[in-house]
Chain A
Amino acid sequence: MANPDSASFQFGFDENDQVFTLGGSMRPKETSEISACLESLRACAMRATGMFYVNVRRLLQSNNVAFNGMASVLLEVCRERPDVNITITMSSVVGWTPRKFRSLQRKIPRINVVEYDKDFYPGQAFVEDSSFVSVLRRQTTMTWRHEKHILPRHGIGEGMKIADICCGIGDFAILLFKEFNPTYVVALDHAKSSLEYARKMAKEFDVTGVEYVYGDAAEMLLPNGEFDFVTCRHSLQVFDRPERILSELLRICKPGGRVYVSNEKNSHCLGEPRSESIQWTYNEVAKLWKHFNMDIEIGPKSRRLLLDAGFVDIRMESFMVTNLDGDPEEFAEVVRTWRQMFAESMARERGDDEAFIEKFKKGFDDHIFAALHPKGYAGWPIWVASGRKPL
């Protein structure tokens, strides 16, 4: 794998948001080698009003020469422009930055240092809850029955370099590894509890070809054009800006390679008997996610999103996970977890009253009833889509 740490550095200023962005690797011998960057930082900060942001989320490396240069400029700005507030946004993914920039904050308490990805994604607290791990595992088991047959139609083959972005607990990456014999799999996620679980599981199953990395899907440190096949499952729906993720998926994909996404349209979950109550609840699920700036209805929009992101040769299909696929109790267990997450966590956080929450729960209970009923049918539809990165 090419090493992203060896890239040279870039800088730029967004006047509109007053954000000075630094990226790449800054390891000069003398400060004079980065004088253009430092001059620009000084000039932009000096003419700022109110809040001035320094974005170092993609500054993969900086030596002490560069850091001292940046700090000197910011100290000068603090002295000369007491009316300007400086906020440095860093990423917890870039390991060196919290150590160094916290030192800067100790030196100049007026400088605010924040980890950008701590609270970035609207549903992050819900999906990174470690209690969510069990439902992720069960969902993968249920969807894999379908996807292992679907994936070859979307271009996956043996001997590929694969990236599984937003890998969750990493079980899909292991299944890919076993089924399609790739040369290498990188599985990335932003939930440390999920990654911890993934590593334990890989160790338990003696899988050594999957590299689990902590990262932000919207600003990955993976190199450009590296992977033959990139997967991102059930994740565009938890981001408020899915187009940003897609542009990163496109970036890391090799020209000619394919990006595969799967998403839901929760309002199309169905069941018999008690279909009306089930329908009502899942329509409310869609509204609830929208309240938290997430789109659980994104599945059928995948084609448009892939085209807008610059992919070609879009392939798209859907499948229905049902209570008849395997053990109906498995399906019921997933719905129980949704009930807990959507009704007990998210609806309460939105401030819904007890009457609403009871009615909301009833639809999940009826979905479980349908799944376990000897003559019942319960379904959860998934849309998969893939696009090719142009040569």
Chain B
Amino acid sequence: MTDTQNNSLPEDGYDLLLEFDLDTKVLDDQWDYCDYMSSYVARMVSHNRADPFMFSNLLSATLNELFETVYRTRKEAGQFRFQILRKGSIDRITMLVPCAADEQQFYIKTAEELGTADASEKYLDLLFSDEGFDRRVGLFELAISYKAAVSADAVEDRAVRLTVDLALEPETD
């Protein structure tokens, strides 16, 4: 994990809280990193929320689903980039995942499905599926259970950029 804060590009008035790059090979090999990274990042950026423990618990749950989704992606060689940014009550998570066109489409199509009228029903179907694990469930969970705004964009033909906006606690004055 390397700190590349100097390369950060704050966007839309968001403050960058934490950023790192990781070789996709490391992420492919180390399932436990999903847990470690989500727990660590959640704790690091939660201290100034109203209830740091509650916030950290929720953020860790959401980050872990994202990291696990990325883990299960067929990735291309390169650098996975993670950023967490903040504007008021919104935490924005961005992930740049090096992958080929079919995997780009997985993210883009899933993000589109999240906006459909039956998304809640689909989420429950995925969550309680007895036909094996469906890797879309993590993104559905963020959108349905955590009311996150999830979007996915292709970055040329080499990566997908996933953006998740989360409001895990009410805005305080």
Question: A-side interface residues toward B, CB under 8 Å?
Answer: 1, 3, 5-6, 25, 27, 29, 31, 60-61, 63-65, 67-68, 71-72, 75, 93-96, 99-100, 103-104, 106-107, 195, 199, 211-215, 221
A60 & B57 in contact (Cβ 8 Å cutoff): yes
A99 & B57 in contact (Cβ 8 Å cutoff): no
Which of B122-151 touch A at CB < 8 Å?
123-124, 127-130, 133, 137-138, 141, 145-146
A5 & B43 in contact (Cβ 8 Å cutoff): yes
Which of B39-87 touch A at CB < 8 Å?
39-40, 42-43, 47, 50-58, 60-61, 64-65, 68
A113 and B42 alpha carbons, distance in the complex (Å): 27
B57 & A94 in contact (Cβ 8 Å cutoff): yes
Closest-CB distance, B55 to chain A (whole angstroms)? 8
Question: Is B21 among interface residues, defined by CB-CB distance under 8 A?
Answer: no
Chain A residues whose C-beta falls within 8 Å of the C-beta of B36 in the assembled complex: 6
Given A5-B42, A64-B133, A64-B141, decide whether A211 and B52 contact each other with a Cβ distance below 8 A: yes
Given A5-B60, A6-B39, decide whether A213 and B128 contact each other with a Cβ distance below 8 A: no
A127 and B43 alpha carbons, distance in the complex (Å): 31
A3 and B124 alpha carbons, distance in the complex (Å): 30
Closest-CB distance, A165 to chain B (whole angstroms)? 13
Chain A residues whose C-beta falls within 8 Å of the C-beta of B141 in the assembled complex: 64
A6 & B128 in contact (Cβ 8 Å cutoff): no
Closest 6 CB pairs of A and B: A96-B61, A95-B58, A213-B53, A5-B39, A95-B57, A29-B31
Scoring A6, A60, A94 by chain B CB atoms within 10 A of each residue's CB, the highest score goes to A6
B60 & A64 in contact (Cβ 8 Å cutoff): no
A137 and B165 alpha carbons, distance in the complex (Å): 38
Question: B-side interface residues toward A, CB under 8 Å?
Answer: 31, 34-36, 39-40, 42-43, 47, 50-58, 60-61, 64-65, 68, 123-124, 127-130, 133, 137-138, 141, 145-146, 172
A31 and B54 alpha carbons, distance in the complex (Å): 27
A71 & B57 in contact (Cβ 8 Å cutoff): no
Given A1-B43, A63-B68, A213-B52, decide whether A96 and B57 contact each other with a Cβ distance below 8 A: yes
B127 & A61 in contact (Cβ 8 Å cutoff): no
A287 and B123 alpha carbons, distance in the complex (Å): 53
Closest-CB distance, A93 to chain B (whole angstroms)? 7
B50 & A199 in contact (Cβ 8 Å cutoff): yes
A166 and B131 alpha carbons, distance in the complex (Å): 46
Given A68-B128, A96-B57, A103-B145, decide whether A63 and B65 contact each other with a Cβ distance below 8 A: yes
A64 & B127 in contact (Cβ 8 Å cutoff): yes
| A/B interface sample: 25 pairs, CB < 8 A | A3-B43, A5-B60, A25-B35, A25-B39, A29-B31, A31-B133, A61-B60, A63-B64, A68-B129, A68-B133, A68-B137, A71-B127, A71-B128, A93-B54, A94-B57, A99-B146, A103-B124, A104-B128, A211-B52, A212-B50, A213-B52, A213-B53, A213-B54, A214-B53, A221-B57
Chain B residues whose C-beta falls within 8 Å of the C-beta of A1 in the assembled complex: 43
B128 & A214 in contact (Cβ 8 Å cutoff): no
A106 & B124 in contact (Cβ 8 Å cutoff): yes
The residue that B124 contacts in the complex, of A93, A99, A107, with Cβ under 8 A, is: A107
Given A63-B65, A64-B127, A75-B128, decide whether A5 and B138 contact each other with a Cβ distance below 8 A: no
